[in-house]
Chain A
Amino acid sequence: MAKVFIYPATSLILSDLVARFGHSPLSAAIQIRERIQTPGLDSPPLQITPEEPKKGLKYAAVEVPSGVRGRMSLYGPMIEKAEAAIIINDADYAFGCMGCARTNELIKFLVRSSGIPVLDLNYPKSEGEGEEFVAAIHAFLKELGESG
Chain B
Amino acid sequence: MTKVRVAQLSCGPEYSGVQKEIDEAAAAVDAEIFYPDINLADIRRASNEFGLDVRSADLKLAIARGKALVEGKVEADAVFIATCFRCAEAAIVRNELRRYIHENSKLPVVSYSFTERTTAGTLLTRMEALTTIARRRALLAREVQEGTTLGVDSGSSTTKAVVMIDNEIAGTGWLPTTAVMKSAQDVISRALDEAGVKIADVEAIGTTGYGRFLVGKEIKADLIQEELTVNSKGAVYLADSQHGPSTVIDIGGMDNKAISVQDGIPGSFTMGGICAGASGRFLEMTAKRLGVDITELGPLAMKGTSGNVPMNSYCIVFGTQSLVNALAAGSTPEDVAAAACHSVAEQVFEQQLQEVDIKEPVIMVGGTSLIQGLVRAMGDLLQTKVVVPHHSQYIGAVGSALLSSGFIKGE
Contacts and interface: CB of A to CB of B under 8 A. Distances in A.
Contacts of B44: 93
B198 interface: no
Interface of A is mostly: loop
**What are the 9 closest A-B residue pairs judged by CB atoms, nearest first?**
A67-B12, A99-B58, A65-B84, A70-B15, A101-B55, A66-B16, A50-B17, A53-B116, A101-B56
A44 B16 contact: no
Contact of A41 (B18, B54, B57, B90): B57
A40 interface: yes
Contacts of B12: 40, 65-68, 70, 99-100
Interface string B62-94: 000000000000000000000011110110000
A102 B16 contact: no
Given A50-B18, A67-B87, A70-B15, A39 B40 contact: no
Given A53-B116, A102-B56, A37 B13 contact: no
Interface string A88-103: 0000011001111110
Given A36-B40, A39-B8, A101-B89, A67 B61 contact: no
Contacts of A41: 43, 57-58, 61
B2 interface: no
Given A47-B20, A51-B17, A93-B57, A66 B89 contact: no
Given A37-B37, A65-B85, 18 more contacts: A33-B40, A36-B39, A39-B19, A41-B43, A42-B57, A47-B20, A50-B116, A54-B116, A63-B86, A67-B13, A68-B87, A70-B12, A94-B40, A99-B11, A100-B12, A100-B15, A101-B55, A101-B89
Contacts of A93: 40, 43-44, 57
A44 B116 CA distance: 16
B86 to A, nearest CB: 5
Contacts of A32: 40
Best-surrounded residue of A35, A48, A50, A66 (most CB of chain B within 10 A): A66
A102 B87 contact: yes
Given A64-B86, A100-B56, A100-B58, A52 B15 contact: yes
A42 B90 CA distance: 17
A42 B40 CA distance: 12
7 contacts: A36-B35, A40-B15, A47-B19, A50-B117, A66-B16, A99-B58, A101-B55
A90 B123 CA distance: 36
Best-surrounded residue of B20, B38, B40 (most CB of chain A within 10 A): B40
Nearest to A37: B37
A75 to B, nearest CB: 10
Contacts of A40: 10-12, 14-15, 58, 61
Nearest to A102: B87
Interface string B16-47: 11111000000000000001011111011000
A103 to B, nearest CB: 8
Contacts of B48: none
A50 B12 CA distance: 12
Given A50-B117, A99-B61, A65 B14 contact: no
A77 to B, nearest CB: 15
